[in-house]
Structure 1
Amino acid sequence: MTISRRDVLAMGSGLAALAVAGPAAAAAKYTLRIHTLVKSPHPYNDMAAAMKAEIEEKSGGKIAVKIFDSGQLGQDPAVIGEMAFGTIDMMISTTSNAVQQIPEYGIFTMPYLFKGMDEALAKIGPGTPVHDHFEEVYEKRGVGMKLLALGVSGTRNMSTAKVDVTGPADLKGLKMRTPPSPMDAKTWAAFGMLPVTVAWGELYAAIQTGVAEAMESSLPGYAGSKLYEVAPHVALTQHTLQVNHTSISEVTWKKLPADLQAVVTEAAKNANALGVEKAKGYDAALVEDLQANHGVTVSRPDTQAFMEVLAPMQVGLAKDLDLSDEYALLKA
């Protein structure tokens, strides 16, 4: 039986007691609900499963964790709002879906910002100046969440409904789906594309009906949502790395004693490293599977041609979007 978002929120506080947690939480004092937006297989769900296992074990059963994937609890902006009230406890998701509440996250959709996933994690992971900066941003913005970890969960690539993309010229005039991120809109407009803001949960229908003709995403997100059915042309542009955040409700955080806060923090850090390794494996395996089993046409354009268009824009984009501090921190 699928539990609806309304049913979950009706259960009361995010730190629900045994009466609403079910038999699996028989000895638990706290129950944490983790939201992800994606369907498996996907690094976010692997990370959530790893956190569940570690938190339940290392808390000695004091914390039970329940995972709600595939957007069961709603789309990210609504979930962030619920977390401010403590009705949802944690989330693992892409930073690009949080730019309305945290505009500084827009820096991570800048094209060709990192050379690879390992370099990115070294720059932004727990314990880095970038992580510390975004902890402060959360407080400044008053979003009602605490940042536990920033990580990387794969490359983002271009997909289209009808066009094989072999170079930048193939993008001109296409209606390009973007999340609510000014960085994304400005990036794709540079290729002569027409940005159209569409929520992730509405993307399949948007491509199917022609509201959008092109999109970009991680490969696990593309495959998990069966977007190959409506956008069967993939170009491995690898224009950005998908940066994800693991965040916890401040209401939830303050209810946990210090020893259990430490357990949750360590679990998030460990899951973060796992997410990177899972992402590497998924990307390679998914390209092969999409071609062999789903009729997807995969092109491998010269990324240098895309970089020549976008790299000169980096400093200007950061300045225009008031992200110069974040850009300088990442390039330090």
Structure 2
Amino acid sequence: MNRRMLLGAGLGLTGFAITGRAQAQAITLNGASQFNDEHAFTRCLVRFEELVKQYYGKPINFTLHKNSSLGLEKQYFEYMAQGRAVDYGIVSPAHMSTFSRAAPFIDAPFLFRDLAHWNRVLDQDMLKPIADEVEKRARVMLIGYAGGGVRNIFASRPAGNLEALRGMKVRVQGAPIWSRTFAAAGMSPTVIAYNEVYNAIQNNVIEAGENEAAGVEQMRFYEVAPHLSMTQHAITIRPLCFSSATFSRLPADLQAAIRRAGTEASAYGRQIESTEDGQKIAALESAGRLKRVAFTDRDALQQKVAPVLDTYAREIDAEAIMRRIGEATS
């Protein structure tokens, strides 16, 4: 049965299968990941499953569809909003912009000073107003925040300063804030589907993309873009999402287990990704697959981008959130 047939059949709707005439109903939850078993996002989702089972203490089934077998994160979020096909998954905030203009802002370039600042913001739950808006408009709950990888630019040619970035054709995420900030830096941003980036660089449609180490490794971007410019322009935030439609049909004790597991699994995901990020880059460089390029104009790059962030925050009524994030101590 192909993917279209599976989705058409409603795969992923929370299932209540009768396993026997005298047995209780069994609940099945379906998750989705673009990546394989080794990726931090997949491991985070596996830990979520383990913790839900532990805290719920009753029979429950999980099916995690990996390696993009149900499409990409954009589709996962749409399925969760519709209450079909996917019950839980990790999704980039860029894919929530249809429902919340402010959502992509939590993952914006140069929003965080460093990992300590990033962790402080998440620990203080400063993103709650955006999570509330997403749940209200999209009917998708943000039950935790994974991520933690520092994003850099991988390119087919080295770029160690602003002048080298000028005019570079780079793939960015679909949210407007990404195109605006990269354009302000003098680059030529374009939105391309994540699974098409490799071929786009190989065919000279673009010269570069931007990602954390786990993504560069998983998608083998180093094969077509072996130069990693250490711009350190963003630290990933990847919400662990759960369909509100599914959640509303679950018993109260399972709902409590899901909320608790979401917080703890996401913290685990942040820890492993932030820890392994540098290790992955070092391993790729040691193997001769990647070459780090020191970026000497980071402060100047941030100054170019700052007015764009300020303007965007005003447009989406996120000035208060941006101010709180900026004032947070690390």
1:159 to 147, 154, 162: 154
Q: 2:139 aligned to 144, 148, 152, which one?
A: 144
1:65 aligns with 2:62: yes
**Superimposed CA distance per residue, residues 273-321 of structure 1 (whole angstroms, 9 cap, x where no aligned partner):** 1112111222111111111225211112133342233235432332245
- Structure 1 residue 255 corresponds to structure 2 residue 249: yes
Partner-residue secondary structure (3-state), 1:244: strand
> Structure 1 27/202 Cα, relative in aligned 2: closer, same or farther at 3 Å?
farther
1:103-147: CA deviations, max 9, x gaps? 21221343221122343233135x62422x12321244x212122
Aligned partner (choices 92, 96, 99) of residue 94 of structure 1: 92
| Distance of 2:196 and 2:314 partners within structure 1 | 31
Query: In the alignment, residue 257 of structure 2 is paired with which amino acid?
Result: V
Q: Paired residue for 1:310?
A: 305
Q: 1:110 — aligned with what?
A: 108
Query: Is contact 1:37-1:93 (8 Å) kept?
Result: no
Please say if residues 147 and 247 of structure 1, whose CA atoms lie closer than 8 Å, have aligned partners that are also in contact: yes
* Residue type at the aligned position of 1:73: L
Question: Using the alignment, how far apart are the partners of 2:35 and 2:12 within structure 1?
Answer: 24
**Matched ranges for 1:6-155 at <5 A:** 6-7=5-6, 10=9, 12=11, 14-18=13-17, 29-87=26-84, 88-125=86-123, 128-131=125-128, 133-140=129-136, 142-155=137-150
| Matched position secondary structure for 1:29 | strand
TM (norm. structure 1) is: 0.88
Question: Could you give the per-residue CA deviations for residues 50-89 of structure 1, whole angstroms, max 9, x where no partner exists?
Answer: 1111112322243222212222211222222211232210
- Report the TM-score when normalising by structure 2: 0.89
Greater CA drift, 285-294 or 35-44: 35-44
Provide the secondary structure at the position in 1 that maps to 2:67. coil
> Which amino acid in 1 is paired with 2:185?
F
Once the two structures are TM-superposed, the CA of residue 11 in structure 1 deviates from its matched residue by 5.0
Q: More displaced, 102-111 or 250-259?
A: 102-111
Distance 1:227 1:13 in 2: 31
Residue 195 to residue 119, structure 1, CA distance change in 2 (3 Å): same
The gaps in structure 2 that reach 5 residues or longer are none
Instruction: Say whether the 8 Å CA contact 2:44–2:268 is kept in structure 1.
Output: yes
Which segment is superposed worse, 271-280 or 112-121? Answer: 112-121
The letter for the 1-side match of 2:9 is A
Whether the 8 Å contact between 2:41 and 2:146 is mirrored in structure 1 is no
CA contact (8 A) 1:92 1:247 kept: yes
| Aligned residues of 1:40 and 1:224 also touching (Cα < 8 A) | no
User: Given the superposition, is the C-alpha separation of residues 50 and 118 from structure 1 closer, same or farther in structure 2, using an over 3 Å criterion?
Assistant: farther
Deviation at 1:97, TM superposition (A): 3.0
Q: Deviations 1:189-242 (Å, cap 9, x if unpaired)?
A: 012211111111221122122222111111101111111111111112111111
Letter of the structure 1 residue corresponding to residue 133 of structure 2: V
Q: How far off is 1:27 after superposition?
A: 8.1
In 1: Cα distance, 2:173 partner to 2:191 partner: 5
- Aligned-residue RMSD, C-alpha: 2.4
Q: What is the distance in 1 between the residues matched to 2:109 and 2:10?
A: 42
Can you give the 5+ residue segments of structure 1 that lack an aligned partner in the other structure? none
Q: 1:322 to 1:231 in 2, by over 3 A?
A: farther
* Deviations 1:12-41, CA, capped at 9 Å, x for gaps: 45212347x9xxxx9872111112223343
User: 1:279-298 to 2 correspondence within 5 Å?
Assistant: 279-298=273-292
CA distance in 2 between counterparts of 1:242 and 1:27 reads 41
Question: How far did 1:3 drift?
Answer: 7.3
- C-alpha spacing 1:49/1:5, structure 2 compared with 1 (3 Å): farther
Given that 1:112 and 1:307 are in contact with CA atoms closer than 8 Å, whether structure 2 keeps it comes out as yes
